[in-house]
Structure 1
Amino acid sequence: MELLNVSNLSSNPLLLSLIPIFSLLIWLKLAKGKNMSLPPSPPKLPIIGNSHQFGKLPHRSLRDLSKNYGSLMLLNLGYNPTLVVSSVDTVREIVKNHDVFFSNRPRTTVRKRRRNRTSHQQNPFYLCRRWVQQVWGTGEKANGSLHRFLCWRYVPYLRWVDVLTGYIPSMKALSAELDGFLIQVIQEHRAVESREKNFVSIIMKHQKDGMFEDLTQENIKAILLDMFVGGTDTSATATEWIMAELLKHPNAMEKVQQEVRNVVGNKSKVDQDDITKMEYLKCVVKETLRLHPPVVFVPRKTSASIKLEGFDVPSDTTVLINAWAIHRDPKWWENPEEFIPERFENSSIDFQGQDFHYIPFGFGRRDVPRSFEL
């Protein structure tokens, strides 16, 4: 999600000139819902709404806001109404009574393109965001490029403004650079029949044997992108958090080490059967995903107007379920800020999203890990 950088407004005369248009659109949006009983909302600023309240760590900022305005809170990000949910009871009500109306995902540029995996290279935003994050990381330079005021994000038909300000051309340039890199990887593997059994060489071999003869270069680029980015990012991040927590808690580290030694013994490799026997390791993983969920916000979009906890929620409202806040709710977790793997011993809580106070991969119809298992 692109967050609003308010400082860009004062330094950009073109954006300042659009203030009347934004104000009118927001006024019309508010007027449309004046007879509705909407969820509570923090005070808004003209044009940007509540975007300035996101902060550098939105999951923390929104958790703090919910303490004052309730676990069901309506924000306005420019022209976009966004419902923030930070309550287990609300999540349960959504799943039990309204799941079909909360099953849509926000239709961002990235998501619309990802529905067709062969179209990755036509989407400059998906490619360049991942490329910038891989090359620049998530530091100040990357944030300066990615987290900036985007007119089309808040008022979609003002996309031309982002063309004039240079954002879209710069994203297309980064996209072309990444696309060239993927093409180079494919061509190098096609030119030399590698003895090394890496992922690309296996695809090339099967394609040569006629198994993947319908697989185009665009298909292969899309597969590579998903493997390098989607297939490694969350796993690598989770592993880093696990190691960080174990380093901070040497007693837990010692228990994991002892369990591995007891289960594996003198074998040179650890297999899947060994992992299923490591009960304390499973607790460590679960506790790490509780404190540091890979899906901090579970995104949804309403497909119809509904009543939720007595409030009116309009159709086409973006919904953000703050999993990070739910995982640290003292109502459901004792000492929620502490790393205590033992809390999962003899517990039936799993990754499937059926326990609504533990949703590291989402829940309901859009739940991710139906087959996730340690």
Structure 2
Amino acid sequence: MSMVAQLTHRGLAQLAKQYGGLMHLRMGLHDMVVVSTPDMAREVLQGQDSVFANRSSSFVATYLSYNRADMSFANYGPFWRQMRKICVMKLFSRKRVETWDSVGDEINKMVQAVATKTGSPTDLSKVASSLTSHITYKAAFGTNSREGEEGQFETILQEFSKLFAEFNVADFIPWLSWIYTKDLKRRLVNVRGALDVFIDKLIDEHLAKKSNKNSKDENEAAATDMVDELVSFLDEGADHENIKSTDSLSTFKLNRDNIKGLIMDIMIGGTETVASVIEWAMTELMKNPEELKKVQEELSNVVGLCRRVQDSDLENLTYLKCTLKETLRLHPPIPLVFHETAKDTMLAGYLIPARWSVVINTWAIGRDKTAWDEPNAFKPSRFLEPGAKDFKGNDFEFIPFGSGRRSCPGMQLGFYVLEKCVAELVHCFTWELHGGMKGSEIDMSDNFGLTTPKAIPLVVVPSYRLECAL
């Protein structure tokens, strides 16, 4: 237990240098296997994907996910597969992403807000966090939310995120829980109670809206939000114990806890993760001004200085894509991905018993010196080389969104928001560090939690650079 402080992406990476890419830790009564190399990750996520497809869950995660009623923490099986289908086919389909006007609308508001701060210090962590929370909120709940509701939900979301990152000794020594978890349990009950009140109200409003519509034309159908999609599966008494692999999505039902759990998956997965990468991308560009110049030159050549970036431009912004891939390599949205063995298995000649936690250190894998030249250097040009790695899950040297069955279903949307946001920030503005700071002086430390945001927010001074008005 004296090693608890080392249970971070950086601490585990340091231990892996001494003990290897497959490492066993015994923390109290809890057994954990840590994977820190591409070869070991390939065996876990591809070679034995089904064996390692369960998700280990802490006391906090189990409680906040309504006893694993969501997709993120549900164990692999028929129920999880149906939940995954809902996410892929209904919530994150290409058609739905194209109808999310909230992305473009909120990025426009962000650009206008930054423009008002021309010449003034601007905290980019707040800019990114506000942008992503507004996008996901409106995509989930619709654009007609009442004033004040969004801020209320952001407060709930922030407390959820803090609790997910909270260390709990009861996860390692259960019989100590009565000493340690009194305050933790109070916070858990309070925040889940607040979420119940908030989302129950929204579900009831969406049900009322649904009952008032006898028919929908195509335009109305396209305008539905995530809760509209989810309530179409609602059955208050749904029980998932007897789901069979042959059951179809058309007969699958969700209870309220499932809907609440999925909404939290979406909100947490779509806000802090993307916001932290946006800030890291801008940080790396400020630290490496020659790379910022290359990205801006590409934007000037492809888009020009007389208009804003459009979606059709994105496919031609090759160096921007390389810059974002390099950011994801060095700063993956979720640095530690937790799995659990479904049964006893052999891995690299070692017996891994059932129900052991398996932690994939994506942060360490992205900096593996056997897989990457100058692994700690920010070099976007490495992704221009023939055979360059991609992040879609087939190259195990680069898995910021995971791989296999448990890979992130919102990867497409997340990268689109990241790409569009950074493109607009870099294209519309020139940037200087506050107080005459040099790029080499930027503090690159991070805070460990569910995500790894910068420990010290990036404060910069923007100046509008385009020849056209906003």
TM-score (norm 1): 0.66
Deviation at 1:366? Answer: 2.1
Q: How many residues align?
A: 299
For 1:17, the equivalent position in structure 2 comes to none
Matched, 1:367 2:385: no
Distance 1:189 1:92 in 2: 43
For 2:194, the equivalent position in structure 1 comes to 177
The structure-2 alpha-carbon separation of the partners of 1:100 and 1:172, relative to structure 1 and needing over 3 Å to count, comes to same
Deviation at 1:250? Answer: 0.9
Matched, 1:68 2:68: no
Q: What is the SS of the residue equivalent to 2:390?
A: coil
Within the candidate set 357, 360, 363, 1:318 is matched to 357
Distance 1:147 1:206 in 2: 33
Distance 2:182 2:227 in 1: 46
The structure-2 alpha-carbon separation of the partners of 1:177 and 1:74, relative to structure 1 and needing over 3 Å to count, comes to same
For 1:42, the equivalent position in structure 2 comes to none
Matched, 1:112 2:68: yes
Distance 2:184 2:378 in 1: 41
For 1:154, the equivalent position in structure 2 comes to 172
Deviation at 1:234? Answer: 1.2
The structure-2 alpha-carbon separation of the partners of 1:61 and 1:215, relative to structure 1 and needing over 3 Å to count, comes to same
Distance 1:114 1:62 in 2: 28
The structure-2 alpha-carbon separation of the partners of 1:276 and 1:95, relative to structure 1 and needing over 3 Å to count, comes to same
TM alignment of 1:119-158, pairs within 5 A: 134-135=157-158, 147-151=166-170, 153-155=171-173, 158=175
Distance 1:183 1:361 in 2: 31
Q: C-alpha offsets along residues 193-237 of structure 1, whole Å, 9 cap, x if unaligned? A: xxxxxxxx9659979xxx969699958766654554332221111
> How large is the Cα RMSD of the aligned pairs?
4.1
Report the residue type matching 2:390 in the other structure.
Answer: D
For 2:282, the equivalent position in structure 1 comes to 243
Q: What is the SS of the residue equivalent to 2:297?
A: helix
Matched, 1:358 2:377: no
Report the residue type matching 2:332 in the other structure.
Answer: P
The structure-2 alpha-carbon separation of the partners of 1:85 and 1:223, relative to structure 1 and needing over 3 Å to count, comes to closer
Q: What is the SS of the residue equivalent to 2:5?
A: coil
Report the residue type matching 1:89 in the other structure.
Answer: D
Within the candidate set 266, 283, 301, 2:340 is matched to 301
Deviation at 1:133? Answer: 8.0
Contact 1:351/1:369 (CA < 8 Å) preserved in 2? Answer: no
For 2:372, the equivalent position in structure 1 comes to 333
Q: C-alpha offsets along residues 94-124 of structure 1, whole Å, 9 cap, x if unaligned? A: 345322211221144137132488xxxxxxx
For 2:325, the equivalent position in structure 1 comes to 286
Distance 1:230 1:221 in 2: 14
Deviation at 1:312? Answer: 1.7
The structure-2 alpha-carbon separation of the partners of 1:363 and 1:223, relative to structure 1 and needing over 3 Å to count, comes to closer
Distance 1:305 1:230 in 2: 31
Deviation at 1:290? Answer: 0.4
Higher relative contact order (CA 8 A, sep 6+): 2
Deviation at 1:354? Answer: 1.1
Q: C-alpha offsets along residues 13-59 of structure 1, whole Å, 9 cap, x if unaligned? A: xxxxxxxxxxxxxxxxxxxxxxxxxxxxxxxxxxx4xxx32426711
Deviation at 1:367? Answer: 2.4
Q: C-alpha offsets along residues 229-275 of structure 1, whole Å, 9 cap, x if unaligned? A: 33222111111111111111111111111111221236644233210
Contact 2:294/2:319 (CA < 8 Å) preserved in 1? Answer: yes
Q: Identify unmatched segments of 5+ residues in structure 1.
A: 1-47, 118-129, 192-200
Report the residue type matching 1:78 in the other structure.
Answer: G
For 1:274, the equivalent position in structure 2 comes to 313
Report the residue type matching 1:81 in the other structure.
Answer: D
Q: C-alpha offsets along residues 327-351 of structure 1, whole Å, 9 cap, x if unaligned? A: 1111111111111111111344211
For 2:40, the equivalent position in structure 1 comes to 90
The structure-2 alpha-carbon separation of the partners of 1:165 and 1:226, relative to structure 1 and needing over 3 Å to count, comes to closer
Deviation at 1:149? Answer: 3.4
Q: C-alpha offsets along residues 115-169 of structure 1, whole Å, 9 cap, x if unaligned? A: 488xxxxxxxxxxxx977855798xxx58x9634342x2355x497269734323
Q: What is the SS of the residue equivalent to 2:33?
A: strand
* Identical positions, percent: 35
Contact 1:293/1:324 (CA < 8 Å) preserved in 2? Answer: yes
Deviation at 1:285? Answer: 0.5
Report the residue type matching 1:364 in the other structure.
Answer: G
Distance 2:262 2:270 in 1: 10
Distance 1:212 1:369 in 2: 20
Report the residue type matching 2:51 in the other structure.
Answer: F
Contact 1:264/1:270 (CA < 8 Å) preserved in 2? Answer: yes
The structure-2 alpha-carbon separation of the partners of 1:213 and 1:341, relative to structure 1 and needing over 3 Å to count, comes to closer
